[in-house]
Amino acid sequence: MENQRKFWGLPLSIWILGSTGFLINLATIMVFSQMPIFMKYELGITEAQIGLIDGFVEFISHFMRIIAGSISDIFQNRKVILAVGYGLSTIIKPLFALCSSVGLLIAIRSLDRITNGLQASPRDALIGDLAPENKRGASYGLSKSFKTAGSVIGATLVAWIMSVTNNNFRFLFMLAFIPACVAFILFMIGVKEPKHRDKFKIKVSRTETKFRWGAFLELKGNYWRIIAVLLIFELAHFGESYLSFRAGEVGVKIAHISFVMVLFNMGQFLISYPIGILSDKFQRRYILLAGFLFMLLGNMFMIYGTTEVLIYAGVFFWGAQMGTTQSVFVSMISDETPQYIRGTAFGIFYLVNGIGILVASKIAGVFWEFYGSTYAFAYSAIMTVVSIVALFVFLPRHNKVLH
């Protein structure tokens, strides 16, 4: 491991990556917390169409992650790819203020998701490269907490800006450029690539420490079992836009819709770091199960909730499941992949994630449009139960991935 300064037992670069994620998510939430409402009321797009667009652009993001991860493996330099992603993301943010048609919006959202895809796999691979082996869960949990803290503060800021500007979406989108720019500068100055590699390097020959085309074939059974559980679970996880629409159904005002994302991200923020620490001490399978149960509980509130308070509780638990499942899944992936192919492994992980979200968003949109919102969340609840069964089938207790 790189002999660099540490803070609370973690390399300084991990803390700076977390701070960068905080600012990037603050900028992102300034755009996307209001995007469903902007699309519906200013551009006249239906809920089903919004769900399909959300799924489509997220699929683009997740597809780009496998490309970015593989490139970072080939060059063995995560920072260069991340710099391109952060830089382009900064430039694109204010372009949302120019959207005047559905086609232009889809084009800009697609570009933004491409830049997002350039960030995710190299970032998670870099955290895995930097983190001490016994603190991977904590490292990923810390990263997730930083990002969601940015989302919480960003959503709170959005609520204030929308109130004082009389719901001026375009002015809000322009302001998102500021935190994105600061994040790019901080990343370029503060993050360092590790000089030494993890335990996998000493187990393979010199030629095997370099990326090779087709190296993904070397990913072992444990990795693919994790991917199988991920795919099933993501079929329960449609776009968060539907949380905002459900809140609107019970009377939440447009100016307060951003608080839906505050609670969603608060759920992630409060749970991610503690869950990461717990996953380093106990079997990751049981921590992942807790995330699935959070999802099930969240869906129950969304189905049966008839007041703002109950819907807000459902939103919070949806956030808690995100903070739990994503932190544990990425820790498992990092455990099961050698450094020289870790970017590609995360790319596959995110691609499967994107496929699941795309399919789930489409199915939820159909249920919502033809049968009502409760049926969309009931579908999610059923798939969550299936995911719990799959967890114990594909990741049995004796499997070493579970510590």
CA distance 360 to 319: 17
Structure confidence at residue 94 as a pLDDT band (50, 70, 90): confident
Q: Mean pLDDT: which of 236-245, 253-262, 343-352 is highest?
A: 343-352
pLDDT for 7: 64
User: Cβ of 398: how many Cβ atoms within 10 Å?
Assistant: 6
Residue 336, pLDDT above cutoff 70: yes
- Point out the least confidently predicted range of 52-66, 127-141, 167-181: 52-66
User: Rounded to the nearest 10 degrees, how much is the dihedral formed by the CA atoms of 225, 227, 232, 238?
Assistant: 160
CA distance 139 to 285: 18
Per-residue pLDDT tens digits for 21-50: 899 888 888 887 777 777 777 777 776 677
Per-residue pLDDT tens digits for 180-230: 999 999 999 888 877 654 444 434 444 444 545 555 666 778 889 999 999
Nearest to 28 by CA among 191, 145, 178: 178
How much is the mean pLDDT over the chain? 81
pLDDT for 216: 62
Residue 341, pLDDT above cutoff 80: yes
Structure confidence at residue 167 as a pLDDT band (50, 70, 90): confident
Nearest to 332 by CA among 279, 369, 378: 279
- Position 242, amino acid: Y
CA distance 129 to 69: 13
CA distance 308 to 302: 10
300 or 122, greater pLDDT? 300
Q: What is the DSSP annotation of 333-354?
A: HHHTS-GGGHHHHHHHHHHHHH
Residue 240, pLDDT above cutoff 80: no
As a whole number, mean pLDDT of residues 381-398 equals 86
Nearest to 343 by CA among 94, 96, 75, 87: 75
Q: Taking CA 247 as the corner, what is the angle to CA 246 and CA 253, rounded to the nearest 5 degrees?
A: 135
